[in-house]
Structure 1
Amino acid sequence: MNPPFRARTALGLSASSLAVLLAAAAPAHAGISYTLDRAAATPGTTVRVQAVYFNDGSAGARWQPPGQLILQWRAPNGQIIRTPAQADTDARDLNIPVNNFARMSWSAVVPAQARGLQAVSIEGEPALMALDTGAGGAPLVASSPATVPVVDPTTGQPLPAPEVVAAGASPTAGPAPTQVASTVTPADPNRLSGVLAGLSEYQPMYFDIRTRDRTTARFQVSFKYRLFTPDSNNPSFWDKLYLGYTQTSLWDLQGDSVPFIDTTFNPSLFWLNDNVWTSQSQNWRAGLQAGVEHSSNGKAGDDSRSVNDAFIQPSINYRFDGGSTLSFSPRIKGYFAVADENSNYRDYAGNVDWNLRWAQDNGLIATAMYRQGASSRRTTQLDLAWPLQRTWLNMNGYIHLQYFNGYGETLLGYDQRHRSQIGIGFSLVQ
């Protein structure tokens, strides 16, 4: 262990400058990177420590983040203040496939004694995070070892020792911030710690080429955004509210001027909880998604197509001991405000999308979708994906294979039965 660093250092840095310096020392420890959800916060307000665990190994990983972190702050006189940060969720046993990531966050109150630009450290982790409290005082980056108890950040009163011990920290002392920082290794710039908080993947994202009848490409982009940051002190229904956006296009690569045949624009608003219930064995897990969505192709006149629906999508997932997960998630839809140009849309799309997914850790991902309209109008889509890191290319993403047969390959042609198509290409998310 390095000797204690007892000289307090005051640096004339802006919050953004310190953030850059600390980001250069952000941890690559165990594939976990830590950030704060904002650059500035006043004493007494709540901030969140956000962690991203990225599994870039050769096998699936299991992450069990703690329910509580102990943070170190500095008072204007150089005294260390130790306060707890509580996990925002009880679901803290996470299985992470290769080349995938998981997020976790903890909520903490900025201590009333914190002043100026802070370099906040996490006890037991090589992490330093910049926060400007906007309360004056010299910016403090390092201090002497902690020989003080963990306190309530609002009252300054010591917290019960059993709670602190249960969090894996010492009730009376912690490592000095400089001792923690001395173990920091440079962060991989390709880590996902810089991803905008709240933004995440939603539906699959892929680009496939098909050659039956003529050469076409079908591709899809999709993401979702969490509207509210969870508050561990006052969790609410709204914490799991998202905006989603998916866009699917069919592109004629063989036609004159290479036109787009049709594009479906699909914004949505929904509530999502992937972990409504988990079995004691951790093998079974149930989730729920419900909301409203709009689909249209952005065209006018006879080619205009538009439909709205409210949906509910329960899911049941089983985790096999061998490292794969089977998921069943039917999407049940009720239509409203359907455009006159496609008033019989329900007859072709039906009211339920039956979805089945099987995913191996660092291996094959297979999904199947089946829908049944009126008068035996059936649609089937099968997708297979294999990680490119397990090929000679050694790339991120997946090689993607898609089979489609039925109605609704495009919104424009929702009532036309398409011949079976097989596409092959690349996918980012499956």
Structure 2
Amino acid sequence: MEEPSMHRFLLRFLPLLLLIAAMVRAGEVRLTYSVVPPATAVGPGGVLQVQVAALNGTTEEALPAWPGAVAGALIIDGRREPVVVRWGAGPTPVAVLAGGFQLRTLEVALPPRWSGSAILEIEAGAAGILRAGIVVTAPSSPASSPAEVSQRPTTSLVRVKPAAARLRRVFADRLAPHEPIYFIYGPDDPTAKFQFSFKYKLLDFRDVGEQRMARTLHFGFTQRSLWDIAGVSSPFYDTSYMPELIYESLAPAPEQRDTWVTWLGFQVALKHESNGRDGPMSRSLNTVYGRSAVAFGDLDSWHLLVAPEVFAYVSSLEDNPDLKDYRGYGRLTLLLGKNDGPSVSVTTWAGKKLNHGSVQVDLTLPIRTQLLNFETYFLIQYFNGYGESLRSYREHSETVRAGFSLVR
């Protein structure tokens, strides 16, 4: 008699769960945070970039408690002038080795028509209140004549940019995760499922008015595969390839720390999805989607994220003419979690007649290990509905898988 699927699932994952329990480190290692004063001055109304350092003076590695949102102010002659502060683009933060440090860039929007010296004060959640002295230069004198410019040495006109800076501009400041990245395994065929996703910044629109919304244009790519790893020759059951062009507008961090409703911004994108097959198994579609997100609660602690998404089909669905009956025209994601703690997200959608409903639940638990020098998550994913793969979008399935996630 065949074992129940859940029984087989627990038997397969018991060694993995024991390994995870042995790897998780209890307790928190406190780090020291400080602001590195900027080396150069900036003019009125400009964007000042400062470095925040997380110093680990202990004998154990630790993950910095970088907050999701920061607030800032300038202290000028004893009075406080609120300023917009947000994290600059950069790689995903990793654990700080014992005796080491980590730097993150903060972008500070300076007020117009003001120059001089001031104290920059940053409220950085668990990192505390950080301060540094800054200098804002007065507007420059009128431009020199062409004759004067031509007589200057070329070193004053050309800024030397070493290879490391070029690599940061090409990769570190432009490449970022997009959708969740994970590998999970379960008892039902196809047993394995994995996804990786990234986006590359093509354009950065910096002159965005008084609200200073961070508006950018990205190329994104996501690949999601279902892998019958337990089958004969371990074939891939189906793979979806999803390139897209994304216009993204992120709202500035709230100036008040006691704000309990925060709009995070929106995305509008043109997306292609196909499974790369031909003949009867071929599936493809093109959509335009828009999605936004609103957070309820403290972004540095427990909060509820509500993210609706609507989309429209912009090309023929000849490979899968009844796809709308199963995917519909939108989806809703609800996420309850904490930035440095566990989270659970529920994503649901239905067909165009509000039938063929589907739901996916993801539970993630942070894991800190000596083996990996970056934060990972233990992921349990439950799916119940239609079209977990593009190939079999008409078929209903229910399954549970578990594994690791690098981005949630």
Pick the aligned partner of 2:106 from 93, 104, 112. 104
Deviations 1:82-134 (A, max 9, x none): xxxxx9x935499xx996997533699xxxxxxxxxxxxxx99xxxxxxxxxx
> Partner letter of residue 284 of structure 1?
V
Structure 2 equivalent of residue 23 of structure 1: none
2:243 aligned with 1:267: yes
SS in 2 for 1:302: helix
Contact kept, 8 Å, 1:208 with 1:423, in 2: the verdict is yes
Determine the C-alpha separation between the residues in 2 that align with 1:276 and 1:107: 10
Change (3 A) 1:240 1:102: farther
Q: 1:253 aligns with which of 222, 229, 232?
A: 229
Q: Is the 8 A contact 1:297 1:411 kept in 2?
A: yes
Does 2:340 correspond to 1:351? no
Q: Give 1:369's match in structure 2, choosing from 347, 366, 369.
A: 347
Q: Which amino acid aligns with 2:306?
A: F
Superposed CA offset, 1:199-220 (max 9, x none): 21211110001112x4621011
Q: One-letter code of the match for 2:203? A: F
8 Å CA contact 2:84–2:253 kept in 1: the answer is: no
**Paired residue for 2:376?**
397
User: Aligned letter for 1:90?
Assistant: V
Q: In 1, Cα distance between the equivalents of 2:228 and 2:385?
A: 19
Which residue identity is paired with 1:220?
Q
Aligned residue among 194, 198, 201 for 1:223: 198
- How far 1:52 moved relative to its partner? 7.1
Query: CA 1:57/1:276 → structure 2, altered by over 3 Å: closer, same or farther?
Result: closer
Given that 2:214 and 2:249 are in contact with CA atoms closer than 8 Å, whether structure 1 keeps it comes out as no
* Distance of aligned partners of 1:247 and 1:52 in 2 relative to their CA distance in 1, 3 Å threshold: farther
How has the CA–CA distance of structure 1 residues 277 and 397 changed in structure 2, closer, same or farther, with 3 Å as cutoff? closer
User: Distance in 1 between the 2:271 and 2:52 partners?
Assistant: 29
Alignment of 1:283 onto 2:269: no
- Mapped to 1, the partners of 2:363 and 2:240 lie a distance apart of 23
- Write the distance in 2 (CA, Å) between the matches of 1:64 and 1:322: 9
**TM-score normalised per structure 2:** 0.61
Return the alpha-carbon distance in structure 2 between the equivalents of residues 274 and 247 of structure 1: 24
1:201 maps to what in 2?
Answer: 177
Cα 1:295–1:63 change in 2 (3 A) is closer
> Which consecutive residues of structure 1, in runs of 5 or more, have no partner in the other structure?
1-27, 37-45, 69-86, 109-122, 125-148, 158-191
For the structure 1 residues 31 and 210, does the alpha-carbon distance in structure 2 shift closer, same or farther, using more than 3 Å as the test? farther
User: Are 2:342 and 2:363, in contact at CA under 8 Å, matched by a contact in 1?
Assistant: yes
Please state how far the C-alpha of 1:376 moved relative to its aligned partner: 2.2
CA contact (8 A) 1:65 1:93 kept: no
In structure 2, the residue matched to 1:384 is: 363
In structure 2, what is the equivalent of residue 335 of structure 1?
A: 313
For residues 37-68 of structure 1, what are the alpha-carbon distances to aligned partners after superposition, in whole Å with 9 as ceiling and x for unaligned?
A: xxxxxxxxx99847577795475647747578
Aligned AA (2:33): A
Provide the aligned C-alpha RMSD in A. 4.6
Asked whether 1:409 is paired with 2:388, we answer: yes
CA distance in 2, matches of 1:267, 1:53: 36
Cα–Cα, structure 1 residues 417 and 35, in superposed 2: closer, same or farther, change >3 Å?
Answer: farther
Q: CA deviation at 1:229?
A: 3.1
Which residue pairs with 2:19 in the alignment?
A: none
Find out whether 1:30 has 2:33 as its counterpart: yes
Q: For residues 230 and 67 of structure 1, what CA distance do their matches in structure 2 show?
A: 24
Q: 1:90 aligns with which of 67, 81, 84?
A: 84
**SS at structure 1 position matched to 2:391:** coil
Counterpart CA distance in 1 for 2:238 and 2:324 is 20
CA deviation after TM superposition for structure 1 residue 425, in Å: 0.3
Unaligned segments of structure 2, at least 5 residues: 1-30, 40-45, 56-61, 75-81, 96-102, 111-118, 121-134, 144-167
Q: 1:155 aligns with which of 141, 155, 160?
A: 141
- Equivalences for residues 65-76 of structure 1 within 5 A: none
Secondary structure at the counterpart of residue 33 of structure 2: helix
- Cα distance in 2 for partners of 1:195, 1:387 equals 26
Q: Would you say the 8 A contact 1:51–1:103 is kept in 2?
A: yes
CA contact 1:276–1:288 (8 Å) conserved in 2: no
% identical aligned pairs: 26
> Which amino acid is 1:409 matched to?
E
Q: Deviations over 1:203-252 (max 9, x none)?
A: 1110001112x462101111122222343587998932222211101111
**TM-score normalised by L of structure 1:** 0.58
8 A contact 1:32–1:52 mirrored in 2: yes
* Other-structure match for 1:210: 186
